[in-house]
Structure 1
């Protein structure tokens, strides 16, 4: 009994090798069968489906009956009749003959000297740094310089003048000059002038004056209608700094309002402005700001 049991236990170990070989053979045949029948796993089928397929195309010519005919050339447009071209006569150019005599240079006679009444008014007018005195002095000088002639001798000269309280000339300096002839004639006239009246304020009168010795400009009379109004505040640059002192913004200068009674009394003393004074004022404004600016005085 024990021998039979031992034989039965030894048999499976001896038969294991042939059984395994049989199973491997069956598996290989089954795999070959599936390859032959197209029964592959899903992953392999997808990889085969994703592979691009090569397709060859061959272009064949169209049959003769389907060839499109070439378009016919358009018919030429009918020629338009030629329009007559108007003839324009060339303008006749007429050259003016040269004048027998050369052009005469422009001239301007010297203005009349101030009258005794004008000097009397200038000696009593105290407003605006004796405006009337300064104008009358310049008119007297220009009247003694003679006729201004167009040419190289014309020009202007600007002086700095100081007149003593009794009317005598205390100092005369030339600030600039555009013509030595104009400066020489002006100095000769000042040296030959009669004794001027005393200054209106009884103090030395210091001012600057431009004498124009040209045939195209003259110093017209001034306007007096605004002389009773206070002077506008002098502009001071708030950003100017010398680099040393403390930086402080300048205080705004208030505009002084004149006393009503004093303003009324001052207005009574003003002379009546003339048309020549208005024209001279407009001329000065236009020369300064140009003729394309707005209304004069604005």
Structure 2
């Protein structure tokens, strides 16, 4: 009887000892209990490093973008009454001043452009009646739905425009830039009396049937001295802003990162 009573108590004590041993091993493994071996060199310093926290590329991109402030550009001022008065009388280059003032008026009513998915450009085909009424607005292409929506809203609600300079319907294409990185598009008028260069045609083009000959491109027509003198009377004095914008456009178009490199 005594042996039977000792067997359950012995099993209980063995179970407790086993669990205590497992707990001590787990605590030592996790670092809660540091073993001190007898042969440890006192001159060696041990450093326990924590494992780095892994970050996804998306998390890094989000943190970088959060630190960067989005660029923005306020809407330019609308053309003044003096600028519209000049534009309504300037007939050269398909009413160049009128076309510029129209684009500036539209952009001035579109609000601030902020860097992001809504920025972009839209190009319209515009037709304006002789009395200044916009009769046609056709979208040729766009890179932003918001830019097109704001531009169309501005065209629909813009004030009454002056009559066209020629007294005829004015048909032209215009690109509206709704982006903080848009460059100034102030026009330069100094070369408007020069004739337009003729369109280029391949002189060696041949349809394979007609007699083959080399076609010569037509030279540019030179205006008469009287017509040139009359044309020069319309030219205004170019503004500093217009010249600076013209030079910047030329630089953006023709510059190369291969120029002025040290050999």
- Determine if the TM-score, normalized by the shorter chain, exceeds 0.5: yes
Name whichever of 247-256 and 132-141 sits farther off: 247-256
In structure 2, the residue matched to 1:176 is 141
1:266 to 199, 218, 231: 231
**1:41 aligned partner:** none
**How many residues in Structure 1 have an aligned counterpart in Structure 2?**
196
Match of 1:197 among 162, 166, 170: 162
Distance 2:237 2:179 in 1: 29
Q: Does 1:236 align with 2:201?
A: yes
**Residues 1:170 and 1:152: Cα distance change in structure 2 (over 3 Å):** same
Matched position secondary structure for 1:212: strand
Query: For residue 115 of structure 1, what is the aligned residue in structure 2?
Result: 80
Residue 207 of structure 1 is aligned with which of 166, 169, 172? 172
Greater length-normalized contact order (CA 8 Å, ≥ 6 residues apart): 2
List per-residue Cα deviations over 1:238-284 (Å, max 9, x = no partner): 12334555544334313222222321232122110011111111121
Q: Which has the larger radius of gyration?
A: 1
Alpha-carbon distance, 1:293 to partner: 8.3
What per-residue deviation string (whole Å, max 9, x for no partner) do you get for residues 121-175 of structure 1? 1110000010000000000000000000011110011111111111111111111
Q: Which residue of 1 aligns with 2:181?
A: 216
Q: Distance in 2 between matches of 1:237 and 1:292?
A: 31
* SS of residue in 1 equivalent to 2:172: strand
| TM-score normalised by L of structure 1 | 0.61
| Equivalent position of 2:16 in the other structure | none
List runs of 5+ in structure 1 lacking aligned partners.
Answer: 1-97
Q: For 1:128-143, list aligned pairs within 5 A.
A: 128-143=93-108
Structure 1, 123-132 or 268-277: larger mean CA deviation: 268-277
Unaligned 5+ residue runs, structure 2?
A: 1-62
Q: Do residues 161 (structure 1) and 122 (structure 2) align?
A: no
2:68 matched to which residue of 1?
103
